[in-house]
Amino acid sequence: MAGYYNPSSPSRSRVDESIKIAGSATSSMRSYYTTSEEHTHSCERLLQNREPRSPSRSRGNATQSPFLRLPAEIRLQIYALLVLPRRPSDLIPSYEKVESSAQDSFDYDRRERGTDRAWAANLSNPVLLIRTIEGNRYAQRYGPNKPRGEHKRSDYTVRADRYRLRCMKTTYHCVNNPRIEDHLGILRANKQIHAEAADLLYSSYTFDFDTHVEAIIPFLNDLTPFARSCVKSMRFVKRGLAYDKEFDRAEWTSAMRYLTSSSSNIHLRRLQLGIVAGRPGANGWDRIATYQPQDFTLLRDHEGMQWMQYLLELRGLQELDVSAVVEHCAPATNSMAMANFIRFSASIESGFAQYMRDAVVQPCVV
């Protein structure tokens, strides 16, 4: 979706076409992460920062536009028809599986339980899968057919191949790009329409990076400051603690510093946090004494657990989902480090999840 953020001249024909289908949307409105009040305030902030224009010209444009004279609720329904997926199949991964610096916990070939039908997305919470892809492959994939107006994406270096022994320059891409490219011209209509539509666009999707935390900074940094401030929901996965390398820790630290820095202008409301958990066999967690929430007050300062401290700096979260991405691991035997990893793994969805919710989730004020 990169490259459609900077509005230019008005596009009256696209707006008029959108007005025609507004009626079909009035009965299918659904809630988004951004409330109407927050939406109004975010639009006002953008409009206050735009270049000054003559009062008569501004009033004339607003008065002459039949679209902008519609109630805000109707405009939001029109934007939803343009920038959100209409069918679950619109979000099915359409590219081959990405080979990256770490195993991806997402199964691109998922099927519905007990059927041969492809996994269907949940339209009430649309998810975009942002993954690392080799820069040359990205250029070959699109070539001259690159989406109109798309700017050059930031590139970055990761450890690649199966054993992560070599460095490779890469960039990011969306594995399940929704079929809305032909509708994004609405963002170039004028500044007010851009603010309203972009707010809905970026606040409605969950941006899922899985284990590709190295893509978080390039992706978000390529957005405009306003678009970045509209992102409300993300998902990423912490790689297995027992197998962390120095570059894994560096990538995690950089990404978390960026997300928690006030200068990044990111205001997450929902976070889905996956953590790679080790379980030695199907019954490997039997008779394992799990950590209680209060235990993590001390554990967060122990060696190898410092990664938690960046998560504790998150502010404004209203929802935190913590899940264990279970993988097979070696038995504890005589290794104290592996024994601690297994015990922590067994505690991810219980004691650790409760500790994190108590620490960072702010109750909604009605």
Per residue in 32-81, pLDDT (tens digit) is 344 444 444 444 443 344 444 434 344 455 557 889 989 999 999 999 99
Residue 253 lies in a domain: yes
Domain hosting 327: range is 232-366
Residue 35 lies in a domain: no
233 closest CA partner among 262, 253, 208: 208
**Structure-token pair, residue 327:** 């993988």
Report residue 290's pLDDT band, with 50, 70 and 90 as the boundaries. Answer: very high
Tokens 């230019």 belong to: 8
- Inter-residue contact 16 to 67 (CB < 8 Å): yes
Per residue in 84-94, pLDDT (tens digit) is 998 887 887 76
**Structure-token pair, residue 27:** 């009965």
Residue 325 lies in a domain: yes
Residue 335 lies in a domain: yes
Q: How far is residue 327's CA from residue 343's CA, in Å, rounded to a whole number?
A: 14
Q: Looking at the DSSP assignment, which residues form a beta bridge with residue 272?
A: 235, 321
Q: Please, is 298 exposed, middle or buried when counting C-beta atoms within 10 Å of its C-beta (0-12, 13-18, 19+)?
A: exposed
For residue 34, what pLDDT is reported?
44
Mean pLDDT within 292-318: 92
Residue 353 lies in a domain: yes
Q: How far is residue 4's CA from residue 147's CA, in Å, rounded to a whole number?
A: 9
Report residue 158's pLDDT band, with 50, 70 and 90 as the boundaries. Answer: confident
36-48 and 72-83 helices cross at what angle (nearest 10)? 90
**Structure-token pair, residue 179:** 């079929």
For residue 357, what pLDDT is reported?
96
Pairing mode, if any, of strands 166-174 and 127-134? antiparallel
Residue 284 lies in a domain: yes
For residue 92, what pLDDT is reported?
77
Residue 148 lies in a domain: no
Distance of CA 60 to the CA centre of its chain: 38
**Structure-token pair, residue 279:** 């379980």
Residue 294 lies in a domain: yes
Q: What percent of the chain has pLDDT over 90?
A: 40
Calculate the alpha carbon distances from 63 to 58, 66, 77, 170, 261 in Å: 9, 8, 21, 48, 40
User: Residues in the chain, how many?
Assistant: 366
Q: How far is residue 113's CA from residue 326's CA, in Å, rounded to a whole number?
A: 19
For residue 26, what pLDDT is reported?
37
For residue 138, what pLDDT is reported?
66
Report the domain count for the chain. Answer: 1
For residue 89, what pLDDT is reported?
77
**Structure-token pair, residue 241:** 């603690």
Q: 3-class SS at 184?
A: helix
Q: How many CB atoms lie within 10 A of CB 102?
A: 23
The single-letter code of the amino acid at 307 is W
192 dihedral zone (left: phi>0; alpha: psi -120 to 50; beta): alpha
Mean confidence (pLDDT) of the chain = 77
pTM: 0.77
